[in-house]
Structure 1
Amino acid sequence: MEQYIAYNLALGIVNTSPQRKQELGRAFAEVLGFQPGPLGSDGGIDGVLYREDGGLIHFQSKLSQLELDVEHAKLLYADIMYHRAVCSVMLAGIGYKETFRQRLFKHPYLEQVSIHLLTLVDVLAKTDTYYLSVKELPKLSLLDRIDWRQFR
């Protein structure tokens, strides 16, 4: 899918109601093979799965109309540390401010954590960032199975 079309689809998604965005975040988690978290307050984890060695893989969806900023980076870091994740996948609606990346990767103890920062455009257009994530998390390729008609 062309990036222009993917971007416009992403705009449509981020402009839906908060409830629909929560439902969509749970659907992404489930399709990726994560055990989806509850709707509403989720303790900073929208989905979880475990590697064969028992390591926790954390999924968080923030389908915001704005790029995620420093405050979101702080929250993601706190969630990674709290849940002792060995891998974290963040799905943003539009993207990430540079300050998000600067803040997140300056936190200590992230050397051993694999972090994938995806956007809706990455997923819909299957960008290089998407394919790098698929290498570590093959279940990302199952995103093709989402029935977008159910999100009206």
Structure 2
Amino acid sequence: MQLVDVLANDRIAINVSVSSKKTLLEKAAELLANASGSANAREIFDSLCQRERLGSTGLGHGVAIPHGRVDNQEAVAGAMIRLKRPIDFDAPDHEKVDLFFALAVPGQCTDSHLKLLAEMADRLGRQVQRDALRQIDDADELLRLLSENPAETAAQ
């Protein structure tokens, strides 16, 4: 399973305006609830908040990957949100965050989604990837970028 396998263009939101972590997580839950076989937005929101209480999912460099296990979730679903203006997300580098990749994972899921989180962290740890994600304003183009090998993007 790769990042592009769990995303769809109807779960990509670009130039979103939110003012807090709570409203960002609400927006992520709404997008994730659009996936086939997804739990309702309230269950997803509660799961994302529960995970954030354990520690921030902010990675640094303006990126966060909020995620949570949801009992009524049938399959892993992903969403991407890019904000107009970054918000505080308790990232380890204290930078405000504008790129969010959210995941809703089935409650009974094994740790297979950890590979997906690792891929996301690796991809988003690359400056060239973050720059490209911040410049593209079309959901289909973002999906195309995310389907490429990050090393290929760096070579362009």
TM-score range, shorter chain: 0.3 to 0.5
Question: With structure 2 as the length reference, what TM-score do the two structures score?
Answer: 0.34
Question: With structure 1 as the length reference, what TM-score do the two structures score?
Answer: 0.34
